[in-house]
Amino acid sequence: MPEKTPTPIWTFGTAYRVLAARQKAGAGVPFYTRVVNRRLGRVGAAAGAALGVTPHAVSLVGGALWAVALLWLCVVPASFPVVLGVVALLVVSFGLDSADGQLARLTGRTGRAGEWLDHVLDAARHIAVHLSVAVALHRVADLPGPGRSALVLPLLFALVSVTRFVAQILGEQLRGGSGRRPVQGSAASGGRTPGGASALIQLPADTGVLNASLLLMPLPGVFLAVYAVLTVANAVLLVATLRRRFAELAELDRVAAREDRLSRAGGVGVR
């Protein structure tokens, strides 16, 4: 019988150093996600490797934490101690959302099932956080400004957030399946800005920024003003994402059609 390859025994320190050396490039990644969350994820992944935890388990624990945090936000009045606890849980949960992928790559446990689970939990979180904000605002007896009509805002933000998430993920899947990637700065890439500028532009869509904004919920007027700005900024980013992704895929369609015509023409007269 063939001898089985022994599974590596990771210590926290060794796993952390290997993960740090393998860190993905940060071009275009929002500031908090790149600078803070990836490091938190690295700590979680190293701990998971040392404990022998699977990436699926890390994903599920992260999902459970944001579910508890958002349920807490829904059922308990949004005082400063409450929102501090909610945001702390969301920060840890977001860190674990990075840790599961890092752990999978470190231990060679990457696969379609893990990627699917990660995307499903992300999609659910994108919806749940804004619906929880709507419930929390509904509990406020006297909303300032537009009053109860302000409850439309988190519903709109949820629509924008989920649509952009699906457009990004599906665009990457369809583009990746073609085996081609558009040239940086081409029409298909939407003329992307350089990494540093892109990271700043993407900041309103950073989960860390949204989580931080929840700290203002005990001050409904201030929170609604900040939340409205984030909603508008994310709507602008959605339009840019839709335009860029459509251009990328349309270019790939044109290239595939041209190659198909050339292939058919080359086969004419061949018996």
Q: Is 193 left (phi over 0), alpha (psi -120 to 50) or beta?
A: beta
Q: What is the pLDDT of residue 8?
A: 62
CB hemisphere CA count around 260 (13 angstroms): 6
| C-alpha span between 72 and 80 (Å, rounded) | 13
80-134 pLDDT per residue, tens: 999 999 999 999 999 999 999 999 999 988 899 999 999 999 999 999 999 999 9
Percentage, residues of the chain above pLDDT 70: 85
d(CA 126, CA 86): 16
For position 148, what pLDDT does the model report? 78
Q: CA nearest 46: which of 14, 1, 5, 92? A: 14
| H helices present in the chain, as ranges | 12-21, 31-32, 38-51, 55-75, 80-107, 112-138, 152-177, 195-201, 207-213, 220-267
CB 48 within 8 A of CB 103: yes
Rounded to whole angstroms, how far apart are CA atoms 47 and 107?
12
Single out the residue of 9, 12, 34, 10 nearest to residue 23, CA to CA: 34
CA distance 209 to 135: 20
Residue 42 contacts residue 20 (beta carbons within 8 Å): yes
pLDDT, averaged across the chain:
86
- Residue 188 amino acid letter: A
How far does Cα 73 stand from its chain's mean position? 21
CA distance 172 to 126: 18
List alpha helices for 108-214, DSSP H: 112-138, 152-177, 195-201, 207-213
- Give residue-wise pLDDT tens across range 199-221: 778 889 999 999 999 999 999 98
> Can you count the helices (H) and strands (E) in the chain?
10, 0
Reply yes or no on whether the pLDDT at 147 is more than 60.
Answer: yes
| Alpha carbon distance 234, 203 (integer Å) | 9
Cα 122 to chain centroid distance, Å, stands at: 6
E-strand ranges in the chain read none
Most confident of the ranges 2-6, 138-142, 169-173, 192-196: 169-173
The CA distance from 89 to 207, in Å, is: 13
Give 149-180 pLDDT, tens digit per residue: 888 999 999 999 999 999 999 998 898 754 44
| Average pLDDT value for residue range 242-249 | 94
Neighbours of 49 (CB within 10 A): 25
Structural domains in the chain, sorted by start: 12-257 (1.20.120.1760)
Neighbours of 146 (CB within 10 A): 12
